[in-house]
Amino acid sequence: MKRVKVGIVGLGRLGMDHAKNIAFNIPNAELTAACSISEEEVAYVQKHWSIPYGYTNYDDMLQNKEIDAIAIVSSSPEHCSQIEKALDAGYHVFSEKPLGTTVEECKIAEKAVERNPDKVFMLGFMRRYDPSYEYAKRKITEGAIGKPILVKATSIDPEDTIDGAIRFAESSGGLFIDMTVHDIDLARWFLESDVKNIYSIGGCYLHKEFAAYGDGDNVASLMHFENGAMAMFHSGRNAPHGYHVETEIVGTHGTLRIGSVPQKNEVMIFDSHGARKECVSGFPERFKAAYRLEVEEFIHCILEERKPSISVYDGTKATEVAFAATESFRQNTLVTLKAEEVL
């Protein structure tokens, strides 16, 4: 059995989850190297998981010729340059979302991908690999709901992580870029078209701290697509019940709804609060399987010499739309994307 040797960069919370999956939970992968600016993190991983190579300098890792692929889970502003370096050094590349923090950065990544057509590049819009989302897409492809005409998407972080969200506000890019971008990608995927017109509104309804960064704690957006389809988005920071990601795809002949109740598990509790389901605590719990499955798909793409369904352009386009949605929110204006802009 052939195994793909992976070097990972970034060992924060999500980086550790990816590293663990690569090391232990993906049959054809092995974690060969780990890189972080934190010596402790690298040492921890090497010691506890018996990882042969450790680096505190990304460029050093790219000298390691044993490695087949690089997984990038560093901070967002580093993504594009690390993608470019890794591809140009001959590695397959998986990068966490967002592709970049500006459209210009995204274009750098696009060019690197185009320069290295024999390499697999995959962007971590993990929701596409969640079993329920993947199932919905399959149903749609099979014609179960006719032609998709409207996506309604909700993404709300739990109130009990609000302190982190506020600390992260300055560098997050705002709700549209940090959160709605996932829903924009899903809408493009389900509707198979690009966004044309955008109107966004929102505000700081509970947590005024976001206002300083031109951000809101709840925002909403209505988008019209090139093919006439529609999408509505609501993103927020303060769900008291947990992490709420819900998506509905309305078709001409049926509707699919994913995650209507973001239940933690299959247990219903009947007590003095009524009949209730406890909810998932955050994205690591909700998308645990998706984070593993997306990397599994990346590994399979390498082994089978094929490209993943999600391309670098999907990253650029979702970013462009998220920026346009932010502009609409900040300027209180209808924003129209030029067709060439999104090509």
Q: Which two tokens stand for residue 177?
A: 């870029």
Q: Which two tokens stand for residue 31?
A: 């974690």
Amino acid type, 28? N
CB of 59 to its own copies, least distance (A): 29
Q: For its own copies, which residue of 92, 128, 182, 234 counts as binding (CB under 8 A)? A: 234
Stretch that binds its own copies, among 62-70, 101-109, 249-257, 316-324 (CB under 8 A): 249-257
- At 168, which helix (H) or strand (E)? helix 162-172
Q: For residue 284, state whether it binds its own copies (rule: CB under 8 A).
A: no
Query: Of 180, 166, 329, 156, which is closest to residue 240 (Cα–Cα)?
Result: 156
List the interface residues with its own copies, window 21-50 (CB under 8 A): 23-27, 48-50
Stretch that binds its own copies, among 19-27, 53-61, 106-114, 177-185 (CB under 8 A): 19-27
In DSSP terms, 66 is beta-bridged to none
Residues 6 or more apart whose CB falls under 8 angstroms from that of 84 comprise 108, 109, 111, 112
Q: For residue 222, state whether it binds its own copies (rule: CB under 8 A).
A: yes
Q: For residue 332, state whether it binds its own copies (rule: CB under 8 A).
A: yes
Q: Indicate the DSSP class of residue 159.
A: G
Q: For its own copies, which residue of 238, 300, 313, 330 counts as binding (CB under 8 A)? A: 238
What is the rounded distance in angstroms from the CA atom of residue 41 to the CA atom of residue 49? 12
The DSSP annotation for 305-342 comes to T---SS-HHHHHHHHHHHHHHHHHHHHTS-EE--TGGG
Nearer to its own copies, 7 or 259 (CB): 259
- Cis peptide bond N-terminal to 308, omega within 30: no
Q: For residue 317, state whether it binds its own copies (rule: CB under 8 A).
A: no
Residues 6 or more apart whose CB falls under 8 angstroms from that of 313 comprise 110
What is the rounded distance in angstroms from the CA atom of residue 271 to the CA atom of residue 132? 29
Q: For residue 197, state whether it binds its own copies (rule: CB under 8 A).
A: yes
Q: For residue 143, state whether it binds its own copies (rule: CB under 8 A).
A: no
Stretch that binds its own copies, among 9-17, 72-80, 179-187, 194-202 (CB under 8 A): 194-202
Nearer to its own copies, 58 or 233 (CB): 233
Nearer to its own copies, 26 or 295 (CB): 26
Nearer to its own copies, 267 or 343 (CB): 267
Q: For residue 241, state whether it binds its own copies (rule: CB under 8 A).
A: yes
Stretch that binds its own copies, among 72-80, 93-101, 162-170, 244-252 (CB under 8 A): 244-252
Q: For its own copies, which residue of 82, 116, 172, 218 counts as binding (CB under 8 A)? A: 218
CB of 18 to its own copies, least distance (A): 15
Q: For its own copies, which residue of 66, 111, 212, 269 counts as binding (CB under 8 A)? A: 269
Residues 6 or more apart whose CB falls under 8 angstroms from that of 67 comprise 5, 6, 7, 32, 33, 53, 61, 91
Contact 214, 208 (CB under 8 A): no
What is the rounded distance in angstroms from the CA atom of residue 237 to the CA atom of residue 157? 5
List the interface residues with its own copies, window 109-138 (CB under 8 A): 131-132, 135-136
